[in-house]
Structure 1
Amino acid sequence: MTVRRFGRTELTPELQQALRRATRLEWITLGMLAVTVTLVIVVMGSSQAMKAAWIEDMLSFIPPLAFLVAARVINRPPTRSRPYGNHSAAGVGHLVASVALLVMGAYLIIDSGSGLVSAEHPPIGTFHLFGHTVWQGWFMIAVMIVSIPGPVILGRMKIKIAEQLHDKVLYADADMNKADWQTGVATAVGVAGVGLGLWWFDAAAAIFVGASILKDGITNVVTAITDLADARARTIDGEDPHPLVAKAEDYARSVDWVLDAGARVRDEGHVFHTEMFVVPRDGAAQTPSRLRELTEGIVDLDWKLEDVVVALVEELPAEVHGGVERDKQSEGGQVAR
């Protein structure tokens, strides 16, 4: 067995630039949210949709803050008490951001649904501006429309960087940005509906926003819990096994002295902890240099494959994939243990 030093990722210049860009985007997001929250408070009144928008904006602070904190914690080197380093901080941040989405969506549906059932008519007052009486709804609609472009642009930029860095906190924040602009559109429509005499438009808009956010929250919470529970590494959206798992296994099998190989890979945040189990060919010499070459070859496949352990075994554990021979055994009902 050979172990490569791990616990702190050395990012390439390109990835370091991506991380700095993501950090700037999160600070911009916090500044934008501060302005939006202030404007919404000023014009909110008694509108359910505006109240939903305000709550959504307040909870929107959580994902970017979680990302900024996780980014600092991850940079700490491994210690004897934390030999795996602090990559899991990204997973914790992802869970925090996901729970914020889930709670917000559920709250909006329950709160607005109760208002709709009880037939609450949201009163929207007036402003006296330069000697003229102006309907407050116009200010609400204007604030919502102004708040839409920022989340649309920031969300699309974050998605690309999240995939590049394999950062699920940033990915969840991009989902929150999507919820932000959807909230703006739905709230503007809801307030306009009230102005046209359709009182139920306000609550209906808030429920629509809540349902969309709840869906994203459930998806992200499931993915975050799955990762923290040491499930097999998956893509950033949590839908498929990560292709690097198969890539690492194929590489190990391509080595001339390896008969079969299978990997047990878990997501540590930005990087993967990879345990590669290798069945050597009969008569093949397994020297420390060969094991080191195999380990470094796996690491060189992708920057995310940083935490790599290679273990020699007589037969592959049942928990890993294995090659063609193992697949045939599984089909016949025999599983290597």
Structure 2
Amino acid sequence: MESIKHFSLPQHLQQKLHQAKKLEWITFFYLLSVIVIMYLTLGSSQAMKSAWLEDLLSLVPSVAFLISTKINDKSANQEFPYGYHRVFSISFLAGAVALLGMGLFLVYDSSMSLIKAEHPTIGSKVIFGQQVWMGWVMMIALLYSSIPAMILGFKKLPLSEELHNKVLYTDASAQKADYMTAFAAILGIGLVGIGLWWADSVAALFISFSVLKDGITRVKTAALDLMDRYPKNVKNDSEDELIGEIARNVRSWPWVQDAKVRFRESGQVYFGQIAVVPKGDIKLKDIEAGYETVKKIHWKIYDFTIDPVSELP
């Protein structure tokens, strides 16, 4: 069996990875501009503050993905004999914990504003010689924070599935749904404009619970992946049918009586073990040929052992 080498995606996926990196760099600089614009238009709106903090936190997945891809490119060595694949899992967990923490803070902060009956004031400013209600400016800023993000999210989603990258997928999913945050904040600001002071805090609470829900879901997924659970599909968290395909393939080998297969996720790729009960005497070349056969099934199958046993574990 071959030794673990420098990890390299198939050629067509290297192009997809390059596209993903390009989109994440665009996202990074776009979000920086959003953060500045949202900060300058915050006012005393709780909904705007929640939306701004969410945008600030949205930088984490983009930065994590760009750093992780750089680290993941390193070759396996004596200190890290299995390579650096788990860096994606660690980045995913770090971002999820940050999101969960921010969600808890926003729920508390928004609730306190509602309980204390804090009345936000949205004044007017003279812009280009015209008196302009700042609520309109806030709404324009919110649209800027959501529409380009949605477009970027839709572009990144198919790439994340092809690359089997959960950091990229969660980033894309969150950006795709950014319109909900913007709509809630715009609605809250609009209702404040007609005298419903509580609408701002209610909108902020909606945003906060959305952030909290995403945080809980992602922390759970990241933790379970690090606990070596059965590999899951990126899109719908269902069991990856690839593992069953490998088991059927191995059981079809002429020298194999029965087999059991287990794999675990390590970032984008899978490591595992195949236990086989041979029909009789086996040759080294049979195991080597079997190894190469399984490796060719899918690029995600990165490294594994084939263990002949007298009885399945």
For the residue of structure 2 that corresponds to 1:84, the secondary structure is coil
Counterpart of 1:289 in structure 2 is: 285
- 63-72 or 212-221, which moves further after superposition? 212-221
For the residue of structure 1 that corresponds to 2:301, the secondary structure is coil
Cα deviation, residue 175, structure 1: 3.0
Counterpart of 1:107 in structure 2 is: 105
- 16-25 or 133-142, which moves further after superposition? 133-142
Q: Deviations over 1:72-100 (max 9, x none)?
A: 00010001111100000010111122223
Go from structure 1 to structure 2 and tell me whether the alpha carbon gap of 1:65 and 1:98 turns closer, same or farther (over 3 Å shift). same
Cα deviation, residue 54, structure 1: 1.1
Counterpart of 2:300 in structure 1 is: 304
Q: Within the alignment, does 1:11 sit opposite 2:9 as a pair?
A: yes
* Residue in structure 2 matching 1:35, options 33, 36, 49: 33
Letter in 1 for 2:173: D
Cα deviation, residue 160, structure 1: 0.8
Cα deviation, residue 200, structure 1: 1.1
Cα deviation, residue 177, structure 1: 1.2
Q: Within the alignment, does 1:224 sit opposite 2:227 as a pair?
A: no
- Structure 1 contact 7–307 (Cα < 8 Å) conserved: no
Instruction: Report percent identity of matched pairs.
Output: 39
Residue segments in structure 2 that go unaligned for 5+ positions in a row? none
Cα deviation, residue 135, structure 1: 1.2
Counterpart of 2:152 in structure 1 is: 154
Structure 1 Cα separation of the partners of residues 162 and 18 of structure 2: 13
Structure 1 Cα separation of the partners of residues 231 and 206 of structure 2: 33
Cα deviation, residue 179, structure 1: 4.9
Letter in 2 for 1:298: V
Cα deviation, residue 30, structure 1: 0.6
Q: Deviations over 1:247-301 (max 9, x none)?
A: 11111001011111111210011110021111111x2x31111001111111100
Go from structure 1 to structure 2 and tell me whether the alpha carbon gap of 1:275 and 1:238 turns closer, same or farther (over 3 Å shift). farther
Cα deviation, residue 59, structure 1: 0.7
The two structures have a TM-score, normalised by structure 2, of: 0.96
Q: Within the alignment, does 1:235 sit opposite 2:233 as a pair?
A: yes
- Mapping for residues 1-337 of structure 1, pairs under 5 Å: 3-6=1-4, 8-237=6-235, 239-281=237-279, 283=280, 285-317=281-313
Cα deviation, residue 178, structure 1: 3.6
The two structures have a TM-score, normalised by structure 1, of: 0.89
- Structure 1 contact 97–172 (Cα < 8 Å) conserved: no
- 237-246 or 271-280, which moves further after superposition? 237-246
- 174-183 or 228-237, which moves further after superposition? 174-183
Letter in 2 for 1:303: W
Structure 2 Cα separation of the partners of residues 170 and 88 of structure 1: 14
Structure 2 Cα separation of the partners of residues 270 and 167 of structure 1: 6
Cα deviation, residue 308, structure 1: 1.9
The alignment yields a C-alpha RMSD, in angstroms, of 1.4
Structure 2 Cα separation of the partners of residues 8 and 227 of structure 1: 23
- Structure 2 contact 135–189 (Cα < 8 Å) conserved: yes
Cα deviation, residue 133, structure 1: 2.4
Structure 2 Cα separation of the partners of residues 148 and 162 of structure 1: 20
Counterpart of 1:328 in structure 2 is: none
Q: Deviations over 1:22-55 (max 9, x none)?
A: 0001001011101111111111111001111111
How many pairs align? 313
